[in-house]
Amino acid sequence: MIDLSLERVSKRYRVQRTFDSRVGSRGLLQRLRSIGRRSDEFWALQDVSFQVARGETLGIIGHNGAGKSTILKLLSGVTTPTSGEMRIQGRLSALIEVGSGFHPELTGRENVFLSGSILGMRRREIAAKLERIIDFAGVREFIDTPVKHYSSGMYVRLGFSIAAHLEPDILLLDEVLAVGDAAFQVKCLDRINELHRQGRTIVFISHDLASVERLCGRVLLLSHGRIIANGSARDVIEKYESVGSGYTTSEHAVVAETTLTHEAEIVSVACVDGNDRPVTALRTGEPTRVRVRYVVHKPLTDAIIELYVFNVSYSSWCQMTTASQHGEGMPLGEGPGVVEFESDELGFLPGMYHISATIIHADHQRGIDWQHQCLTLRVDPGKFVRGSFYMPHRWRSVLSEAKLYSSPRG
Amino acid sequence: MTTLWQALRRLAQYRDLFYTLSVHRLKVRYKQSVLGPSWALLQPLSLMLIYTAIFSRIARMPSDGAPYALFAYSALLPWTYFATSLSMSTNSLVSQVSLVTKVYFPREILPLTYVAAALIDFLAASIILAGMLFFYHVPLTAQALYVVPTVAILTMFAIAVSLMLCIVQVRFRDIGVALPLLLQVWMFATPVIYPLSVVPAKWQRLYVLNPMVGIIESFRRVILQGAPPEMHSLGIAAVISALFLPLAFVCFKRLETTVADII
């Protein structure tokens, strides 16, 4: 049973020249003439075809501007395709923005009715589900105060709660999980899973590759308005990270800052595998080595070499350092040298990371060299885990008998 | 391309939303100010006082035998309903950009809720009209029942014009800017502050093509004079509204699909 079907759908936007740009420098006559003139065209989607079966969870990923939101707008009916055919079977609800339709002066209760009916529920339906919606959002004490007094967290929880109690045949989700704290995101994902178990069809658009891999059986990869991959979640995600994002692990030598002492210089930072060969990508949970080459101009007695690893949004980072337990540095002799950072199990989840490297004096008063984002690291799915980071671990089953089972080392 | 029938069915499906949003419009006004709900009454009332002072006292405008205040108010009431519907609906799509670009629902609901809110205001303000009729000892006859079809025609026309204005406003924001002036001119082209009888005979043929003429004149006549409505002009108004409404609706639905793209 096919719930959703797009056949050769294309969407063209005409980029409008606004009439009031540079007021005065264009005569009135010119502006009147420009009403009829054709404006620039932009094809947000070209020749897109795919189908979604009943009960399937489809993920759609791609770089910004690839056309993901356009597909969502087409599916939810906010806009219509320029050409091609779209077939939708069943009731469809789209959750593009949490709290859509909320009016700040109305109470939470009133807004539940307002937002619920905007999203397509009948008043009777909302009234029947009202208590459950309030409980799920956890805002019972404040349900009768105007939402302008709500914290952003409460606002988002109430908005999502209303949408979570829609019972559409097809549910469209767009980045809505990006807001809210971790506990809330868990709630969202649980609810989505429940809808999936109920046999509803879900289309999920997101940049959060871990969630996409977790929730979706099949994934589409969009690039510049076209589908360039359509397959299992893991395959397509890997393809995205090598093609869609355009980065691989690489080496750069970056020009140094002038406020540093430059008694030593970092020459390059690279990731290598067990055979000392540079690698293009690492995997979660697998052994990793990062090699830092440097050259010392003036002998140092208390140098510390550090690597800073940031994720793409700079929301999460960690550090690797040669500093001892007590923060002491090491002596570095003149000339070239190599330092290697090693880890048995890489703690990063799949994604893109930037590495910056630095050499400093142990007293942290003076920087010797700083190479900003000298390495871009791509981490592919390895061992499948959830969370913000991977915690290296082993396990064994402890039985009352003498037999012991354990995981393979590493 | 959905047919007209499908579009109407879809609209009926969303009647709950229409009800909720209309109530919402009224509630919001109530919550935001002390004067909120009474504005519905103040507007025609204050206009009536001003016009009475200017046109009756100073300019000595004839008023078909009735006291000028009553004469003016009984026309201002339906006129205010019309003007408010238009001015609020015109910007209805543009002011709710986030809704229009994020959620699907039949867009015509937005202007319709403003017309509904204006209708409620109209009904509330007619209490004052009843009071004034009592004060001036003007009896109501059975002809006053013609008010119902007259207001129905007025509503049809108001909806038609509102639909056209709000969808054009999305592309050409000049409409919203020009509207107050347009309404002012339109009011002077309608027998609100003056009676139909002062319009020169040679202009009357053209004059009655304005649907508001038939509506306002008939409204006033059946209430103040206890006479049947001015059939000629009201008939024109009815025909124009009946033709314009489906046309405006079809036009709206055609342009609706591009609204989210250009808003």
- When divided into structural domains, chain A yields a total of 2
Q: Do both A27 and A94 map to the same domain? A: yes
Q: Do both A236 and A329 map to the same domain? A: no
State whether residue A141 sits within 8 Å of chain B by CB: no
On chain B, the residues whose CB falls within 8 A of the CB of A119 are 103
Q: What is the pLDDT of residue A404?
A: 54
Q: Which of A169-173, A326-330, A389-393, B119-123 has the highest mean pLDDT?
A: B119-123
Q: What is the pLDDT of residue A249?
A: 38
Nearest-10 crossing angle of helices A123-137, A152-164: 130
Whole-angstrom Cα distance, residue A54 to residue A199? Answer: 7
* CATH code at position A35: 3.40.50.300
Residue at A254 is within a domain: no
Residue A331 tokens, joined: 């002596």
Q: Do both A212 and A292 map to the same domain? A: no
Please give the helix or strand (H or E) that residue A276 lies within, else none. Answer: none
On chain B, the residues whose CB falls within 8 A of the CB of A14 are 261
Q: Which residue has the tokens 């690839």?
A: A66
When pLDDT is cut at 50, 70 and 90, the band that residue B249 belongs to is very high
pLDDT tens, residue by residue, A228-249: 888 888 888 877 766 544 333 3
Query: What are residue A398's DSSP bridge partners?
Result: A404
Pairing assessment for the beta strands A282-283 and A367-380 based on DSSP bridges: parallel
Residue at A294 is within a domain: yes
Residue at A401 is within a domain: no
**Which range of residues forms the domain containing residue A352?**
264-380
State whether residue A105 sits within 8 Å of chain B by CB: yes
Q: Do both A84 and A213 map to the same domain? A: yes
Poorest-confidence range of A41-50, A356-365, B221-230? A356-365
Query: What is the full DSSP assignment across B118-132?
Result: HHHHHHHHHHHHHHH
- Indicate whether A32 pLDDT > 70: no
Q: Do both A130 and A6 map to the same domain? A: yes
* CATH code at position A313: 2.70.50.60
Output the CA angle A271-A272-A277, nearest 5 degrees.
135
Q: Do both A229 and A329 map to the same domain? A: no
Q: Do both A238 and A268 map to the same domain? A: no
Percent of chain B with pLDDT over 90: 36
Q: What is the ipTM of this complex?
A: 0.75
Residue at A404 is within a domain: no
Residue type, A108: G
Residues A320, A289: contact at Cβ < 8 Å? no
Q: Which residue has the tokens 């105060």?
A: A145
- Indicate whether B36 pLDDT > 90: no
Dihedral pair phi/psi, residue A78, rounded to 5°:
-70, -30
Q: Which residue has the tokens 């767009």?
A: A174
Over residues A157-183, the mean pLDDT reads 79
- Indicate whether A25 pLDDT > 60: no
Output the CA angle A385-A386-A388, nearest 5 degrees.
120
Q: Are A117 and B99 in contact (CB < 8 Å)?
A: no
When pLDDT is cut at 50, 70 and 90, the band that residue B80 belongs to is very high
Q: Do both A129 and A17 map to the same domain? A: yes
Cα A317 from chain centre: 15
- Indicate whether A134 pLDDT > 50: yes
Q: Are A123 and B19 in contact (CB < 8 Å)?
A: yes
Q: Are A118 and B16 in contact (CB < 8 Å)?
A: no
What b/e sequence results for B187-204 when a residue is b if at least 16 CB atoms lie within 10 Å of its CB, and e otherwise? Answer: beebbbbbbbeebeeeee
Integer-rounded Cα Rg, in Å, for chain B is 19
Q: What is the pLDDT of residue A162?
A: 87
Q: Do both A278 and A327 map to the same domain? A: yes
Residues B245, B153: contact at Cβ < 8 Å? no
pLDDT tens, residue by residue, A373-391: 777 788 888 777 888 778 8
Residue at A210 is within a domain: yes
Residue A351 tokens, joined: 């994604």
- Indicate whether A254 pLDDT > 50: no
Q: What is the pLDDT of residue A258?
A: 42
Q: Are A117 and B17 in contact (CB < 8 Å)?
A: yes
Q: Do both A21 and A124 map to the same domain? A: yes
Whole-angstrom Cα distance, residue B226 to residue A406? Answer: 99
Percent of chain A with pLDDT over 90: 4
Q: Which residues of B fall below an 8 Å CB-CB distance to A?
A: 14, 16-17, 19-21, 24, 27-28, 31-32, 98-105, 257-258, 260-262
Residue at A385 is within a domain: no
Residue at A400 is within a domain: no
Q: Do both A105 and A49 map to the same domain? A: yes
Q: Do both A318 and A231 map to the same domain? A: no
pLDDT tens, residue by residue, B126-145: 888 888 888 888 888 888 88
Q: What is the pLDDT of residue A180?
A: 66
- Indicate whether B120 pLDDT > 80: yes
Whole-angstrom Cα distance, residue A177 to residue A164? Answer: 12
Residue at A285 is within a domain: yes
State whether residue A113 sits within 8 Å of chain B by CB: yes
State whether residue A247 sits within 8 Å of chain B by CB: no
On chain B, the residues whose CB falls within 8 A of the CB of A78 are 100-104, 260
Q: What is the DSSP letter of B140?
A: P
Whole-angstrom Cα distance, residue A251 to residue A202? Answer: 41
Contacts A–B by Cβ distance under 8 A: 65
